[in-house]
Amino acid sequence: MGTEVVVEGLTKSFGKQNVWQDVSLTLPAGEVSVMLGPSGTGKTVFLKSIIGLLKPERGRVLIDGVDMVNSPERDIYETRKLFGLMFQDGALFGSMSLFDNIAFPLREHTRKKESEIRRIVMERMEMVGLVGAEGKLPGEISGGMRKRAGLARALVLDPQIILCDEPDSGLDPVRTAYLSQLLIDLNAQIDATMLIVTHNLDIAATVPDNMGMLFRRNLVTFGPREVLLTSDEPVVAQFLSGRREGPIGMSEEKDAATLAREQRTPAPYAPRTLAPQLEPSPGLPSRAAVPRRRERVLALLPGLPEPARAAILRSYAPAGPPAGTVGGPVGGPVGGPVNGAVGGAAS
């Protein structure tokens, strides 16, 4: 099973520029989480801080008892081996074949024989659909194939935590849909904790168990996907609907006068439909995270906003609640109708 990641009070600046401050959240073990945010909000900096490649000024990142911010470098280096990191561009070596690119971490960090390395590399290439392309150079393949090769390389050391930095960048909508399914399928096969940084609303709406958003140097929210996807927070609603009207401007933040003018003449807004979460492809095992997540989310239910509670109940009902019944169990005790519906489809 993947490893839990606990972030407490993380604050990062570059000189006088504060990137984000006092960020606290928990990535539940084995679950898939997404971090959203407009360009320039420090999402990639956040990933690098989690893995210990950047040093925040304050806060902690706790993984198996090791603080990736303040522990000795030796402990941070060892804990970093729990991670697999998928970069935006794949970060492949242009002069090396895909096979050698994917084998690189094994040759650098283990003493495995070449026969064992070949077995592991080919298994990972099969997982991401690249068998037959092992002899090609990165420049000879498509951007989508380079993404998958980067993901295969992130998997060869059997990571317990996988960080994906904008895996959809440069991909068309069809390839993005395939990538979304691939991420769910990988989670079903290896049960790793996953954090995906993305702008892509389709990935955000269909892949994660949990979602967060960074804006104006703060974490707007983080929690079960239903909380963010049903939120009426202005910045969240604007981002999810892709509208110009709202707190996000071309330079990230709008001035007060512009916001006031928009509020006087609000644009019509259609709520975003909550899409179902992707399930593993036929033939793959069920995701082990699903029952763990269900138990965790149902325990949180009384403290969640009503739209999120209603969405969670609908997702766990065998065929959806009958018309007009959502208002009943939402406010009721968790041990009653909610748990009785748990045996259905999982969100």
What is the CATH classification number for the domain harbouring 28? 3.40.50.300
Residue 132 lies in a domain: no
Using left for φ > 0, alpha for ψ between -120 and 50, and beta otherwise, residue 158 falls in: left
CB contact set of 147 (below 8 Å; sequence gap of 6+): 86, 90, 167, 171, 179
Q: From the centroid of its chain, how far is CA 223? A: 12
Q: Where are the alpha helices (DSSP H) in 27-155?
A: 43-50, 73-80, 98-109, 114-127, 143-155
CA–CA gap between residue 36 and residue 180 (Å, rounded): 15
Name the token pair of 132: 């037959």
Residue 255 lies in a domain: yes
**Cβ distance 325 to 338 under 8 Å?**
no
What's the pLDDT at 275? 87
- Render pLDDT for 96-155 as a digit per residue (tens, 0 to 9): 999 999 999 999 888 999 999 999 999 999 999 999 999 999 999 988 888 899 999 999
Under DSSP, is residue 94 helix (H, G, I), strand (E, B) or coil? coil
CA–CA gap between residue 28 and residue 26 (Å, rounded): 6
Residue 143 lies in a domain: no
Domain span including residue 184: 1-82+159-330
Residue 270 lies in a domain: yes
Q: What is the pTM of this model?
A: 0.83
What's the pLDDT at 100? 96
CA–CA gap between residue 119 and residue 135 (Å, rounded): 15
Please, what is the Cα angle at 185 between 224 and 196, to 5 degrees?
45
Residue 285 lies in a domain: yes
Number of compact structural domains in the chain: 1
Handedness of CA 88, 93, 99, 100 (dihedral sign): negative
**Cβ distance 44 to 19 under 8 Å?**
no
What's the pLDDT at 284? 94
Residue 245 lies in a domain: yes
User: Over 60: is that where the pLDDT of 199 sits?
Assistant: yes
User: Over 70: is that where the pLDDT of 246 sits?
Assistant: yes
Residue 252 lies in a domain: yes
Residue 109 lies in a domain: no
CA–CA gap between residue 126 and residue 112 (Å, rounded): 20
- Render pLDDT for 301-347 as a digit per residue (tens, 0 to 9): 999 999 999 999 998 887 544 444 444 444 343 433 333 333 333 44
